[in-house]
Every structure is written in structure tokens, then in C-alpha cells.
Chain A
Amino acid sequence: MRSRLRGDELSCRAARTSLLACVLVIAASVAAVAMTRAGMLSATVAGDGFVLNGRCPPSFELMADGTCELRDLYQFYDSLQDRGVGGTRTSLPQHRDGFRPEQIDLGRYLFFDPLLSGDGTQSCGSCHRPDRGFADGKARSIGIHGQDAGRAAPTLWNVAFLQSFFWDARASSLEAQAQGPLFSPREMGNEPARLLRSLNDNSTYRRLFRQAFPGGGDSITAAEVYAALAAFQTTLVSLNSRYDRYAHGYAAALNERELAGLNVFRSFVARCSECHTPPLFTNGQIAVIGAPEPAGHPFDAGAEQTFDAVKLRGGFKVPTLRNIALTAPYMHSGAFGTLRETVEFYNKGRGNAVPPGETLYLHWHISSPNLTETEVGLLVDFLQTLTDEAFRPETPRRVPSGLPPLDNPKGSRT
């Protein structure tokens, strides 16, 4: 139903049919679904045409209590101490799920709605673009009024499996994380009261929130906004790459070069997998690796501030490498334009980019591996096998505020 409704919404716009016709088409879809899934969709369709999807996204099973639970092949495996780190056939770290489908779909609209920013120019999707691996292709994100946001937008693929958020690990939930960019004057530049006012002033949002959070009160709360955003983001699951096919036992999924690259990746010479540990390709820890800042930028203390610990100066959360080929440039401030440059940074040796006068407690796995040029190339080849966007959600053509979802250049005000 998800796709059908969205397809109809699309055809409505494409054919420039009357609003009434659209509503009728959508209502017919809803009725058809309602016949097969009685009671699943409780809301009636309003004149604004926005309907929340009552079906769980791909890879999720709708449970009897009306929530969606993740199903993936890694659930066939276990992991030591249940920490979700290991080798090929190891379970994933604990994850967030259990949101209602309507909450997930409401989160999708919120995620792409510039109404959430202080001046209506930026949505979450401005810096986490579905067509850029849910990053933005920039060295550092551009916030409200064209400001440099300071760090690169991390991918949102597989955030459901993370326990800490931001490069410096300063948030411990997606709900807490959402408040960072929303209210940062360098990013979306909003304020809590203003955000709630603009959402509550919008009758579509009021209706959709009541549908998604049936137990809620009359007005939209901040907690509901954060929960819906979290719900949507936890459905960005990428676990069907060619690497995964290999891991689950299909030896032909990777070619000889890619297999050789995997073996460089997990060997103790390169040591990549010691921190970028399968199956998520991150161990979720902080590491001080001594990556450079772009020219003219001051040193970024990173996790030192989060933990008030000088030993973590210059430390950042180990990022996942899933979909890494889609999210150049790399590192916390986009110092490297290509995967090859990034691999070469590690190969240049321990501390090669530490600024003069800085004393960093570099991670013990930051060594001087002296990989050959061939091995560097093999690693880059292997990293390309971690790409999978099969479950990329559709960007809404329009959002309840009527503002254009910014990553869709064809979107226009309605």
C-alpha cells in the first residue's frame, strides 16, 4: 500500500488532475486495503490528501500490537556477549524498532519538511539526502543562512543499530540527536517553541500526529516530533549488499579482487575490521586516529568535550562503512575526497597528519601498515561491495507545510 498510495499521489501531480479525483483514487486504495486488512487504517482521508501509510516498510513485520519489527538475515546468528561485533555470520548490535507504521510515515514527512527549520529553508533531508547515501556530498554541511555547520553530515543508513550519535558521540538516542541540528544556530536554526507553534498551526500535521500517536493530547508535543523522526530513521536499513550475500554463504557474490580486498581489510596488517567490525562495519567506539582538518580550519577536539577527557582529544565515533562508496567526501570534516585518499591516509603511517604542537593519544590500531599500492586498490574495491540502497524510501513529492522538500529540485510550492 505504501507504494500504491505514493504512486497515486505521484500520478495526481503528474496528470494535474483535480484534487477531488486524487482523493477519490487514494480513498479507493485505502478502501481496498481496508478490506484486506480490516482495522489497520483508522484515519479517514482529509481534503489535504495526506495519508499515513499503514504498512510497515520493507524488512519490517507488522506485529499484532500494530508496531513494526525488523527482520533481517543476521537474526539467524549470535554474537559474543550479544554485542553485535564479529565476523561474517555474526548478529547485529541491538537495534531500535517497534514503531507504528503511521509514526514511521509521519516521520518521513517531517524529515523532508523545511518547516522544521527556523526560516523554512532546510529540512533534515537537506543534509541527509537519499540520493547521497543520506549524507550530502559536502565536506561540511551548510546550515541556515549558508553557514558552515562544522562537520560532515554522517550517513543515516543503519542508525537503528547505533548506541551513540554525532561524530563526538554526545547523544545517546535518536530522539536526543534530533534536537541537535534542529536547534543549532549553525544548522536548522529553529527553537523548540517556534517548532511546536508552526506544527500546531498546521491542521494537516495536527491530524497526522493524532493518527500516528492515538494516545496523545490535543496539541503536538516535542517528544512526538522526535519520536516520529526516530521512527523514520530506524527504517533506513541496508543489509543486502554483495558483501552480505558473501557473508551469508554465497561465495560467488564477490570477485577475486574483492575477496582479496576483504582479506586485506580484516588482516592484522591493515586492521580495518578491528574498528570497522562486521556486520555493521563499526564497533561503535571512539577512536583517535589523527585525521587532518581542511586547510585553514582549527583543530576539532571531538570527543574530548563530550567526555571531558583529554585522552579523547581529536577522537570521533567510528563510522559505519556501509554505503561508504556513496558518501564522499570522508572523515569528520571531509578532508578526503575519495576512498583511495582515505585509505592512503591510514597507510601513510601513525600520526602523519597530527598538527605540530598537538599531543594526541592515537588509537593503538593506528599503525604504519605499509600496504602495497595493489593492496590499497584492493581495499577500495572491497569497500564498493558494501553498497545497498534497495530499501531507500521515497522522498515525498510534497509535505504538509506546502514548502518544497529541498532535495527534490522539481518540488514546488503548492
Chain B
Amino acid sequence: MNKIVKTVLAIAAFAAAFAGGAYLGRASKSDMVITSSAGGAEYAGGFKAAGEAAEKVQAAANAGSLKSVAGPAGSKSVVVKDGESILQAVKNAEPGTTIRVMPGTYSETVYIDKDNIRIIGVIEAGRRPVLDGKKQLNDAILYSGNNFVVENLEIRNYKGNGVMGQAGNNFEIRNNVIVDTGVYGIFPQLGQNGVVEYNVVSRIADAAIYVGMSDNVHVAHNEVFDSVAGIEIENSRHAIVENNYVHDNTGGLLAFVTPGLPIKTTQDVIFRHNFVVNNNTRNFGAPGSTVAGIPAGTGILVMAADDVVIEGNVISNNKVAGIIVTDHGHAANITVDPESEPNSDRVRLLDNVMLNNGYETIPEGKALLLAEGKGGKNLDIIRVGPSPGSCIVNRHQYVTAGVGEFSECDFTHTANVSTYLLPPVPPRKIDISERGKVAFLGICSGCHIYNGRMIGPPVQVIQALYLDDPQGLADYIAQPVKKRPDYPEMPPQDYLDPETRLAVAKYMLAVKN
């Protein structure tokens, strides 16, 4: 979409406004404020989970133990050996099964549309199970089930994604090696409560790790490189991205709001303690993709995301800039969405180590520096577009453009925020009689009403037949036989699970109207 290119063109117009004397903001000429992040105030904002279980998760995170959101593993376990199919094991598995995959090569798409499945690779003397898409298969792992765990795989040569999630909650994606898997390496989408950690992801045409439209996500200890984008947090809330090694991408860390998506906000993101280094790789994103316009040499990019805290990162050798903060208005080639708020509100730039960024920045960046009366060979931080409520500490350490109006932050660290993860988000608890009623109304009521003829006989008549035998009725529902010459034969409802069939039968025998 070339929006960043357009952004920098817009910066040129902005700079022209400076030069023309239209710039009304103050330059950074206030007294130097030196703040230590070793002490100082803690972050008062951010997501606060409630409840005893949430406190346990927080305590476990503070204690440094592995983050588990999928709940305890079930007791069932199967082993898949080289030459066998992981997908077949998933299809055969009941929820709660751990599938152990032995080293070998597996060329398949594994989709998981059931809950509580764990696919755990067995690493033997450095040999992992390899999923190889041979550049013919689309996705390696595709899950929509909840409480999904995938660990220890090596995934190569797919065209779509290494690991893609669609609405599964409580996911754990850990310790996988993912190389050249197409558009994304790891892509949880529309899920809540997930961990992406200890993965090594490279040679991805969009984002190596892309958290899209998700809530409560923890991305930590990953190495992402040789990709267009390193780690992207898009239209998501309550995400912590920490302790990652993000190097040799086109752009390192991104927090975006992309307009035109059904979930409209990015809010409450912490980028901390990451190495964001040497992200100068030529942009090889697909034409029209959101990342195709990122200038090679971008360390951290914030666009229209709110409440982003950037703290304690080592940001070095990114040739355009260490940090860019911008909005939709300056991205001329991004679509419009009346429901998307376009500005990066309340960006908090805490202490970061910034070395040798912006050494080959875009001409417009240089113009912006000149307009602020700043020369020099580097550029650490650029802000274009409104960014209300934003702040910075130790601004004197960096070469900046456009942050003159940022206030001093009223906190210096987020050490009190160890995680935004939750206890496993429970499935909605459904009363079994409610299940019977909803299934009857949602499915059966097209043919059966209480006391009248429709396609099938009235419920009243069925009640007279089955009286106290709901199991008999449930069995009939699964495998009906033609009984009445004046009615069409009932199609089997065996797709409903036995529990639901029995609940429907009980509801039908009890209903009074």
C-alpha cells in the first residue's frame, strides 16, 4: 500500500510548513530533565486482570516460570512417527490429547477444529520433526480450537502461514523454528489469551510474528529476522512484547491500527527489553500488502495505536529511524474508516538505548531535522501527525524530530506489569436444559411445533409416544425410520452429539407449549 512512502512524502509537506514559519509548536528548548528508570514511578495504566486466578497467573509470571494459558495437559497421549500423518492423529484425537511428533519429515496441512489439542514435537539430538510445505501447501498449522498448544516443530516452505489461528483462545506457540512459510510465520488472529515465545522465525514476506485482532497476548524471547516485519501487533489490545531479538528485517516492531477491519483499536501495548537491531533489509513484501511501504531501516513503528509504552529496548543501526510515531492522516495511501481513530494517542517513550539510528534516513527526515534546527548524522525518533497525551523521558539523549511537545512521562518503568495474560478463558457454561431448548428451537423448530402440523408431527404427539423415555427419543433422532405415511421421512440428526440429542429429547418431552 506504500503508505509509509506516502507518509514520508507527507513529512516533506510538514517540513515545508516548518520552513515557512507556520510551525507554532515549541522546539525542545526546555531545561534538561534527567530521569533514572532504576527507581521512579511505576506504570499506573495498562490492563488489570481481576480475580484470584488472575493473581496466580501474575504471581507465576513474576516468579519467572513458563507462561501457561492453555490449562493442564490431558492424560491422553499418542505418538506420530516419521511416515505417519499428524493430521490423521488430530482427527482421531479426543479433546485433551497430546500428540507427540517424532523427528522426521511431514508434508501436510494440519488443521485443528477441536479444543484441548497439543502438538508437541520430540527433539532428538537436535533433530526436530519438520513440516515441509515444499512451496505447494498453503499453511502448516491452522487452528480454530481453544487451548491449543504447538511446540518444538520446524516448519519450512509453506505459501501461507507457519502457524495460523482463527479465533482459538488460550493458545501457546512455543519453541518452533519457522523458515520461509509465506505471508506470516506465526499468526494468531481473533483469539484471546495467548503466548508466543521462544520461536525462531525468518524469511517471511510479511510479518514473522503477526498478532491480529487479538486480546491479552504475550510475545517474548523470540528471534525474528530476514523478514519484512519482525513482530506486528495490529488491531489488538493488551499485548506485551518483550525480550525478543528483532534483527535484519525491513521494520522491527510495529503497533498498527489498520482501518477497515471489524475490530477497530490497538491499545495498551508494551514493547520492552527487546533488541531491535539492524533492520535494514530490502522490503520484499507483496505489492499492496500493509507492510510493503515500510522503508527499509525502521526500528519501531507506531501508527494510530494508543497507549504504547516503549521501554528498555536496545535500538541500534536502523538506518531510517529508531522509532517512528505516525497516524492515518499522514499515510495517504491507507484506506479510510470512520470508525477508526487515526492518531497514536499516549505513546510513552521511556528510557531506551539508541545507537546509530537514522544514519541514512530519508531526505524528508533530514528536512524535518533541519526545520527544528537540528543537524547531525543521526535520527533516533520521528513523530508526524497528532499524538496527543504522549510523553518521553530523557529526551536529551536522542536525536528527535517532532517530539518537542511531548510531556515528561509521569512514570519510568513497567516493572510492576509482568503479564497481561489471563487464566484459561473458560468456555461459556451452558446449562444442559438450555442446550436442549436452543438446539430444538435453532434446528428442530423448522419441522416441529408444539401443537400443529408442519413438516413433521407435533411435539404433543411425540410426547404421547415417548413419555418418560427421553433416551428412546434421542436414539430415534439420531437414526429415524419412516413411521407415518402422511409425513416425509425425518433426516437423521446424528451430527448433534449424544449429549445434545438427549438434551433436545428431554426438552421436547417437558415443553408445555
Contacts and interface: CB of A to CB of B under 8 A. Distances in A.
Interface of A: 1-4, 7, 32-33, 36-37, 55, 58-61, 71-73, 75-81, 83, 85-90, 239-240, 245-253, 259, 263-264, 266-270, 273, 277-278, 283-288, 307, 309, 311-312, 350, 361-364, 366-368, 390-391
Interface in B126-159: 138-139, 142, 144-146, 159
Contacts of A83: 262-263
Residue picked from B165, B214, B261, B441, most chain A C-beta under 10 Å: B441
Contact of B288 (A7, A36, A309, A362): A362
B236 to A, nearest CB: 9
A81 B263 contact: yes
A89 B148 CA distance: 14
Contact of A285 (B215, B260, B494): B260
B451 interface: yes
Contacts of B438: 71-73, 75-76
Nearest to A268: B160
Contacts of A85: 167, 190, 213, 262-263
Contact of B451 (A1, A71, A361): A1
A147 B411 CA distance: 67
Contacts of A287: 260
A288 B335 CA distance: 9
Contacts of B334: 311
A87 B166 contact: yes
20 contacts: A3-B453, A55-B452, A71-B438, A73-B438, A80-B190, A85-B263, A86-B166, A87-B167, A88-B113, A90-B167, A240-B442, A240-B443, A250-B494, A251-B113, A253-B495, A267-B142, A267-B161, A268-B187, A277-B190, A361-B335
B37 to A, nearest CB: 33
B48 interface: no
Contacts of A309: 336
Nearest to A389: B446
Interface of B: 1, 91, 109, 111, 113-114, 138-139, 142, 144-146, 159-161, 164-168, 182-184, 187, 190-192, 213-215, 258, 260-263, 286-290, 333-338, 427-428, 430, 435, 437-439, 441-443, 445-447, 449-454, 494-497, 513
Main secondary structure of the interface of A (DSSP, over half): loop
Contacts of B337: 285
A76 B263 contact: no
A36 B513 contact: yes
A285 B235 CA distance: 15
Nearest to A250: B495
B297 to A, nearest CB: 22
A359 B495 CA distance: 49
A350 B111 CA distance: 28
Contacts of A75: 438
B213 A87 contact: no
Residue picked from A78, A240, A287, most chain B C-beta under 10 Å: A78
Contacts of B439: 73
Contact of A73 (B168, B263, B443): B443
A285 B261 contact: yes
Given A88-B167, A266-B142, A59 B441 contact: yes
A283 B190 CA distance: 12
A59 B446 contact: yes
A88 B144 CA distance: 6
Contact of A248 (B109, B160, B495): B495
Contacts of B335: 288, 311-312, 361, 363
Contacts of B113: 87-88, 246-247, 251
Nearest to B426: A78
9 A-B pairs with least C-beta separation: A86-B167, A87-B144, A87-B167, A250-B495, A87-B166, A267-B138, A71-B441, A268-B160, A4-B452
B310 to A, nearest CB: 25
B288 A350 contact: yes
